[in-house]
Amino acid sequence: MDRKLLASERTVVEVMSRIRKSAMQLGVLLREEVAGDSTVGVVFEELTSSISRVFAVLESMETVEGGQRLDAGLLSPPPHHHQISTKKRKIYPATDRRGGCRRRSHLPSKIVGSKTLNDGQTWRKYGQKEIQSSKNPRSYFRCTHKFDQGCMAVRQVQRSEEDPSTYLITYLGEHTCRDPAMAPQLFSTSDVSNTCLLSFGASRHRAEKEARVPASPFPSHKQESDEEGLSNLSTACSSPDYFVIPAAEKLAVMTPTSGFLADLYFEDVFGFDHDGFLS
């Protein structure tokens, strides 16, 4: 079930283990502060839960992926502009790794029949194929949080042949993500007039290649009624019942008393500066 890890991945595991160990030692040293609901406790909670999530991701990498590359990008992709194609589609460089580079081998999969595509998870469609053995195409979805949380869950959806009103949904891999759009609902009993949430909206990024694990991404929600068409299968978000890694969103609610922390956090992470140095 476990494959060989790459050297770089082993390094990550090793370093993360040290981080976890240090965090635990820190927890002992700060046990009285951590025990209470002080800011220290909240921050420490965030720290440990983030570490746990990283390990969850690492674990899924170990068990979910069949083959892999992931070597450092030493080979720069050749420019490869201008090509003569019948269409205006791109000719991919030799470094292209589409398809099987990370093709998952046979994995724990559950097949369910369902009338709806909404299963409480947010999915993003990334492909559709005609299948020889069936007249209905198969749609491929991956978790929306593949890149921001490293969630490797995937599902395949195909309309049933004998009963076209139902879908055959095959789930591959487990969700390691926590839907940020759903988190706020857990606290919605009291008045929440503070709008000072951590917002990563300041978009200054380009590559979605690298997986990051921020504490609380921006909210984005969608309610989609599924219907017709053999290709309109999209995102979903519905039921409140949910598995959740506890206490990872506290950071979002602690702001009323300590909004400054958010600012500090920002500066730390993004290296913001107060003095502009662009003439």
Partner DNA sequence: CTTATTTGACCCGG
Partner DNA sequence: CCGGGTCAAATAAG
Chain residues binding DNA by CB under 7 A are: 67, 86-92, 94, 96-104, 123-129, 131-133, 138, 140, 142, 144, 154, 156, 203, 220, 231-235
The two tokens of residue 176 are: 């390691």
Contacts of 30 (CB under 8 A, 6+ apart): 40, 44
Residue 42 or 157 having the CB closest to DNA: 157
Smallest separation (angstroms) from DNA to the CB of 61:
14
Read off the amino acid at residue 152: M
**How far apart, in whole angstroms, are the C-alpha atoms of residue 158 and residue 122?**
17
Give the containing element (helix H, strand E) for 81.
none
Smallest separation (angstroms) from DNA to the CB of 73:
12
Burial of 169 (0-12, 13-18, 19+ CB in 10 A): buried
Smallest separation (angstroms) from DNA to the CB of 251:
20
Residue 11 or 231 having the CB closest to DNA: 231
How many CB atoms are located within 10 Å of the residue 269 CB?
13
Residue 105 or 165 having the CB closest to DNA: 105
Residue 128 or 255 having the CB closest to DNA: 128
The two tokens of residue 76 are: 């720069």
Smallest separation (angstroms) from DNA to the CB of 82:
12
Residue 67 or 256 having the CB closest to DNA: 67
**Residue of 97, 71, 208, 189 lying closest to 148 (CA atoms):** 208
Smallest separation (angstroms) from DNA to the CB of 197:
16
